[in-house]
Chains A and B, each alone.
Chain A
Amino acid sequence: MIQEIALGLLTSSVAVEGTSRLIVDIAMYFGLFVIVAMALNFQYGNAGIPNMGCAVQVIIGGFTVSAITTRLILTLVGNAGVEILPWTSDYDWVYNSPKNVNIVNSWLSGEPLFGVSMLLFTLAVSLILGAIIGWIIALPAIRLRATYLMIVLITMADASQIFGRNVVWISGGTLGIFIPDIFKWYPGDRTLVMAIITLLIGLISFFIFRTMLNSPYGRLMRAIRENEVTVGSVGKNVVGIRRNILMFASGITAISGALLGFYFSYVVEANYQRALWTYWPWLMLILGGPGNNAGTFLGCALVVAMRRVILVNKWFLQEIFFFPVAYFEQILLGVLLISVIMFRPNGLIPEKLLYIPGVNYRRLVDEEVVVDWRGAPKARGASSGISGIFRMLGGKKEEAGE
């Protein structure tokens, strides 16, 4: 039955509506947030970097779609012989945007290959730009205490929104920019394809993250989280590793911003607010349990479903409260964050032991180490300090045996 419904949804040429619409919407948002939250889990849960700047990384993806992909599509379509309205000046860029997108869309409906290649191009560019942004935001504070990093990243999220609002050629300022529909060739609902692609990318990034965490590099990350001084003392470049992690995770996070732009067919800076793209992913991470991806999935699903259901029942809720639901969500976010930190600091699914191929780690931890103190009375009685240690290391087994 599920197969029939899925096939029916995929092949039908009518728009998705009603409950199916809600399910598609939840799936899309789940995919987007799971990418952000898993990248956050990679940074905070496993490497101990408190990245409060997810919004910056997400907004870079959105800007990639609006400023680079849209320009490229307009240029290529113009070169292909389609007459499009002027778009090079700031004024034309914003005010001809809907008309141009309509013209381009009718051309795109016959070009599936072009659409898919544009999607892949956007993903690649946003990955690279996200990594560059990760390098830039790591620059001032990565060497310092975690608090400084948090402060800088939170302010940078605001700064990126200010640029998006005022630099018109990026994303059309406050009015926003329409994005050509690269799935115009698909007869059914575009949002369904976007949701499936987003979930697929989420799944791929889950496997990438899992492989990285189970590799020696992942164990190194956890070692840095536990004690960076120790890791530094055995000759590992802690700052460099942290910067690499931040760059990699930034790239993955930027992809979700690009996908959001394609989903709405519209990019405006107000879609990439700090609260939505930093605080809610943090709640997902902390609720699910930092340090394992299963917890992130669970937290993400719970929070996204809750938020979407609140949004759908907005008018009903607004009759109960006298104020807009957006303020209620703020209160809810604050209360949930604090109560999770207080009552379930390890999250719903606490972190599990590492999986290392060939090593039964569980046995190593659980095994009771029996120490026979009777064997070493002299060593225990030796004076503390360096001389005592040397005496113990000196191997006076004959004395111990006496």
Chain B
Amino acid sequence: MLIPAIWIAALTYASELTLLSMGFTLTYLTAKVPNFAHGTYAGIGIYVSYTFSKILGFSPYLGFPFSFLIGGLMSIIIYFLVIGVLQRLGGGAIVLTISTLAIQIFLAGATNIYAFWLRAKYSTYAMLFMLKDFDFKIGDFPGIFIVSVGLTVSCVILLHYMLTRTKIGIAMRATAEDPELASVLGININQVQVFSWFLTGGMASLAGSMIPIWFMSTPTTGAAMITPIMAGSLLGGFENVYGAVIGGVVVGVSEIMLTYWGSVILGAWVGEYRPLIPMIFLVIILLIEPRGLQGAWERMTASDTGQSILKSLGLLKEEPVT
């Protein structure tokens, strides 16, 4: 095998995390609210996969479009019922964040109830499962590795195309920059918001439905992923979708690889502390550079020594306009 199994796991996890981080950042850009329920969307995707494979007997891959649709529709419902209403009522950033936390608690309860119902009705292990048996193989690689990495890369490319070339993408960027000015220019902000909530919810649910094909899943798996999602988004600068891509990959790979190396060197007990790694990332980023990679980049381009370092690395081509 060309790539060791642990790297396959790390890259699979990192690509799923990248999708989630990207969606989280997009929501933050358009709605200006850190969506704490974003991880729980992934939990719903997990159960869409479970329903398709264990209950209905199809391949879990068949459930991906449905997962995208269900996540997107749920996200739109949340926007119409809660977030949009609160924004119109003039709730501040803290009130909106608390409301997303409340949504997270509600959705976690709903996921738990659904899992419990599945267990009671079909007598299956719906509370702790893994869908590796439903996976296929391409050569030496497990199918989920190819599919997750491919899907994430194509999502990044599609999103880049959408944000730079299409009308709705440009409208989204304008709304992110200045909602009032965008509405003066004739952009229907409400439409843009609905679209972005649909997109992010769908992406999160899609990422979630890939998780159980490689990793052990419970009803709380999705909710527990919110810390790595935020660490990835914060590493990228919290307000930059491309930064979130880098952040998601870095946090995802390092979470798995640091745990693995730690358990090889120090002993198996390190595995228990795996959730601490994204948290350490969060704290270190906040202590050193609260604006993440974007802030670091801006600081580098602002100083002469930073510019010369960037030029020597080949990252900076032309003189930035001061």
Residues of A that sit less than 8 Å from B by CB: 50, 52, 139-141, 144-148, 150-152, 154-156, 158-159, 162, 165-166, 275, 279, 282, 286, 322-324, 327-331, 333-335, 337-338, 341-342, 345
B97 interface neighbour in A150, A158, A162, A328, Cβ under 8 Å: A150
B98 interface neighbour in A158, A282, A322, A331, Cβ under 8 Å: A282
- CB distance A322 to B117 under 8 Å? yes
Which B257-275 residues have C-beta < 8 A from chain A? 269, 272-273, 275
- Which residue of the partner chain A has the closest CB to B110? A331
**Least Cβ–Cβ distance between A227 and chain B, in angstroms:** 13
B contact residues, total (Cβ < 8 Å): 44
B275 interface neighbour in A145, A158, A275, Cβ under 8 Å: A158
Q: Does B51 contact A (CB under 8 A)?
A: no
**Least Cβ–Cβ distance between A256 and chain B, in angstroms:** 21
Q: Does B62 contact A (CB under 8 A)?
A: no
Which B85-121 residues have C-beta < 8 A from chain A? 85-86, 89, 91, 93-95, 97-99, 101-110, 112-113, 116-117, 120
**Least Cβ–Cβ distance between B241 and chain A, in angstroms:** 18
Inter-chain CA distance A342–B94, complex, in Å, is 14
- CB distance A338 to B276 under 8 Å? no
- Which residue of the partner chain A has the closest CB to B95? A341
Q: Does B128 contact A (CB under 8 A)?
A: no
Can you list 14 A-B pairs, Cβ within 8 angstroms, ordered by A?
Answer: A50-B97, A147-B34, A151-B230, A152-B286, A166-B269, A166-B273, A279-B101, A279-B105, A327-B109, A331-B113, A333-B102, A341-B86, A341-B95, A345-B89
Inter-chain CA distance A159–B85, complex, in Å, is 34
Inter-chain CA distance A224–B45, complex, in Å, is 42
- CB distance B95 to A345 under 8 Å? yes
Q: In the assembled complex, which residues on chain B have CB atoms less than 8 Å from the CB atom of A329?
A: 109
Q: Does B184 contact A (CB under 8 A)?
A: no
Q: In the assembled complex, which residues on chain B have CB atoms less than 8 Å from the CB atom of A154?
A: 36
Which B66-95 residues have C-beta < 8 A from chain A? 82, 85-86, 89, 91, 93-95
- CB distance A162 to B116 under 8 Å? no
Q: Does B282 contact A (CB under 8 A)?
A: yes
Beyond known contacts A155-B282, A328-B109: 11 more, CB 8 A cutoff = A139-B287, A140-B283, A147-B93, A147-B97, A152-B282, A158-B227, A162-B276, A322-B117, A327-B116, A333-B106, A334-B105
Inter-chain CA distance A356–B284, complex, in Å, is 43
